[in-house]
Amino acid sequence: QVQLVESGGGLVQAGGSLRLSCAASGRRTFSSYAMGWFRQAPGKEREFVAHISSSGKSSYYADAVKGRFTISRDNAKNTVVLQMNSLKPEDTAVYYCAGRSPGSGGHSPPLASEYAYWGQGTQVTVSS
């Protein structure tokens, strides 16, 4: 099993940047899990934001964040990071870190149901 804890959310002006971090326990298995970020705004379904492979060599982004967000990971530190630049009010949501077990993927864009492990979420608010 993997425990995930997000941090780094907050309030930022449009055009600004935030860096979200996800700390994972279970270092003996962390490198086997692909990781993703999802977000959920009030009254909306949870939506895919970004995904990174277990090795960190491949990544995939939702069209809405391409060119603005970057996902990365450090398996030695059991961390996943979402760097968010050029933020827009539409990015306002609770952001969740998620882990996907080996062999659980295959859909494009990745589905929330593919991820078995979830953090508690961190609030991101972008003002204009």
Contact between 10 and 92 under an 8 Å Cβ cutoff? The reply is no
Per-residue burial over 100-128, b if 16 or more Cβ lie within 10 Å, else e, is bbeebbeeeebeeebbebbbebbebebee
In 3D space, the residue among 71, 70, 67, 51 whose CA is nearest the CA of residue 115 turns out to be 51
* Structure token pair of residue 101: 């077990």
Count Cβ atoms below 10 Å from residue 50 Cβ, excluding itself.
Answer: 25
The pLDDT tens digits along the chain (128 residues) read 789 999 999 999 999 999 999 999 876 678 889 999 999 999 999 999 999 999 999 999 999 999 999 999 998 899 999 999 999 999 999 999 999 988 888 788 899 999 999 999 999 999 99
